[in-house]
Structure 1
């Protein structure tokens, strides 16, 4: 019986060079790590968000400077970099929101199986990437 079961490797003392390339993180672990990364990204980009919001609602002149940031850039920063940072912020917000809703849903139900956790993690990953691609296409003017 014991030899019919697939032997799984044990990772006790992890060597970064030999063990980590073979370690496969489950989707729930990936979503958890990305949830933390997206939270940090939103925290560090908060001054940019406040500046963007302030310039977009202060006056018509400041709104034009807001629009110009996405057309010609901000000072020495090119417009494509402004758009890429904004796209990263869009992804961070969407992923953090969806993963947060996933965690709250799991906390409320208290009956989460390993398969339910895997499926909800895959839904979060697929939905956040799909919505980011759609909004990124709009941001870069593809539609």
Structure 2
């Protein structure tokens, strides 16, 4: 048995991923961000409902610019995860499975997420 000589490229910066692959990777990342953010947001909700002092403490935490920026990022990740999930459900139904239509649906998902992210920015600030 002969050993196959295949080219090996370990420099990931030189590999260009298709837009559908980037979309899928970002969908997973946004899911992880949403999971961790949900835990923090549920803790903040619990604190705000515990007492008046807890509510005032949460209001003080949420009042900062940096926290608003993080909240905007979390809302953007949630929006992308929902849009990407809908895209995957459509693909599970048998639509947009080809390379060209998959790339187009990924670009549409990015566009819809940008619009939703801008709307979330308006809501946060």
TM bucket, shorter chain: 0.7 to 0.9
RMSD, matched Cα:
2.3
TM-score normalised by length of structure 1? 0.70
Deviations 1:103-128 (A, max 9, x none): 01110125622111011100111111
What whole-Å deviation, never above 9, does each CA across 1:41-92 have from its counterpart, x for those lacking one?
Answer: 1122232120233345556664444332222xxxxxxx22212221221111
- 2:96/2:105 contact within 8 Å kept: no
Q: Please list every run of 5 or more consecutive structure 1 residues that lacks an aligned counterpart in the other structure.
A: 1-10, 72-78
Which residues in structure 2 correspond to 1:55-74 (within 5 Å)?
55-56=47-48, 62-71=54-63
Pairing 1:43-54 to 2, within 5 Å after superposition: 43-54=35-46
Answer 1 or 2: higher relative contact order, Cα 8 Å, separation at least 6. 2
Higher helix share: 2
SS in 2 for 1:109: coil
The match for 2:28 is: 36
Shift of 1:137: 3.2
| CA displacement at 1:134 relative to structure 2 | 2.3
Aligned length: 120
Q: Per-residue CA shift, 1:122-142, capped at 9, x if unaligned?
A: 011111122112212331x2x
Where does structure 2 lack aligned partners over 5 or more consecutive residues?
1-5
Q: Work out which of the residue numbers 7, 12, 15 in structure 1 matches 2:10.
A: 15
